[in-house]
Amino acid sequence: MHTLVKIDPASGIPIYKQIVRSILYAVDNKLITQGQQIPSINEIRDAYSISRDTVIKAYQELKTRGIIASSPGKGYYISTSYSYTRRNIFLLLDGFTTYREIFYNAFKDKLGSQAVIDLYFHHYNSNVYTTLLHQANGHYTEYVIVPLTDKLCFDWLQNNLSYKNLYILDLGNEMYGKHYPSVCQNFEKDIYQSFLSSAELFRKYDRLVMVWGEPPDQYRNLIKQRISLGLSRFSREIGLPIIMIDDMKDKTVECGECYFVPNDFDLVTAIEQVRTKKFKLGKDVGLISHNENPLKEVVANGITTLSTDFQEMGRKMASMILKDEKGHFENPSSLIIRGSL
């Protein structure tokens, strides 16, 4: 039975990986079928004079992938008719928003039947973040996360998860550089280039107002910093004055102003003020939101939105996993022009 496993000591491939590949090959080529036993840990150890821990590590990965299972009296056996392409993915997002749902659906659809996804949220809480990752460590074939950017979280990842099966979303290049494969946004470049491409629409306003409105934490503060740099560069280039405030409680909407409002609660407040003052959006007052969702297409005759393509982000991340790509990709963003600008 141990002949299912092929080990070449001269190969540069780790022995536990050779064991994994042997079993996957046997399943994929119908050399062994669902319910059949595979060699025991001790059989493999004795046949190839390798450590027991090496075999345990291989079998743990196969269990994680859902390929094998074990039970008292039966030992290890094939638990699925799926081929080696089936993956078990840990997905950790910041929160469940409409645009994250768009990402998730595209990610899931692209993976199809080739993967099972377990979805979690850290809500920018570092304790939740590290606890979830600690509990998941070693139980999944791939890990896809929206990272927190503080040093403790960075160090935890560095010390606990292999770069080979960890993928980063959104701000990965800011904190993690080339340590891990990623699909990220370049917030500073995106807002500068997107606004500049529609500069003529901004010239009818007297000034630009950014109303940040997001709760303070290291992750969102870094996004704020990058967006602010892009906006400032844009305002200098076209000669449009800019002010930056924390939320709409600090500001009354005035004629001749164009507002960039990332937070949806502030967006509602701004729209209410425009209606109360009987201003006309896109003429008296400009209004731009951040991150597309279907409601923004119909609210107030259409809200202009700066957004990355979350469907493309989901598809690209799934493709990287399926093809075992390890690159670093900037996800495209654009200004979706509607009546509010």
Q: Which candidate, 123, 117, 156, 107, places its Cα nearest to that of 140?
A: 117
CA distance 173 to 185: 9
pTM of the entire predicted model? 0.74
Same CATH fold assignment for domains 2-78 and 87-185+310-332: no
Do residues 95 and 104 touch, judged by C-beta distance below 8 A? Answer: no
d(CA 307, CA 292): 5
pLDDT at 64: 82
Which strands make up the sheet holding 328-330, listed edge to edge?
Answer: 115-121, 87-93, 142-145, 166-170, 182-184, 328-330
pLDDT of residue 236 exceeding 70:
yes
283 neighbors 306 (Cβ within 8 angstroms)? no
Q: What is the mean pLDDT of residues 130-151?
A: 83
pLDDT at residue 247 greater than cutoff 80? yes
CATH code for the part of the protein at 187-308? 3.40.50.2300
Give strand pairing partners of 335. 306
Contacts of 187 (CB under 8 A, 6+ apart): 223, 226, 227, 230
Q: Measured between alpha carbons, how far is 105 from 268 in angstroms, rounded to an integer?
A: 27
Round the CA-based radius of gyration of the chain to a whole number and report it.
Answer: 25
Report, at the CATH architecture level, how domain 2-78 is classified: Orthogonal Bundle (1.10)
pLDDT at 301 over 70: yes
Residue pair 175/154 in contact by the 8 Å Cβ criterion: yes
Q: How many CB atoms lie within 10 A of CB 32?
A: 17
Q: Domain 87-185+310-332 carries which CATH code? A: 3.40.50.2300
The structural domains of the chain, with segments of one domain joined by +, span 2-78, 87-185+310-332, 187-308
Band of the pLDDT at 245, cuts 50, 70, 90? Answer: very high
- Position with higher pLDDT, 12 vs 19: 19
- Give Cβ neighbours of residue 125 (< 8 Å, ≥ 6 apart): none
Residue 174 pLDDT = 65
Query: pLDDT tens, 303-332?
Result: 999 999 999 999 999 999 988 888 889 998
Report the sign of the C-alpha dihedral through residues 42, 78, 113, 19, in that order. Answer: positive
What average pLDDT does the segment 270-278 reach?
94
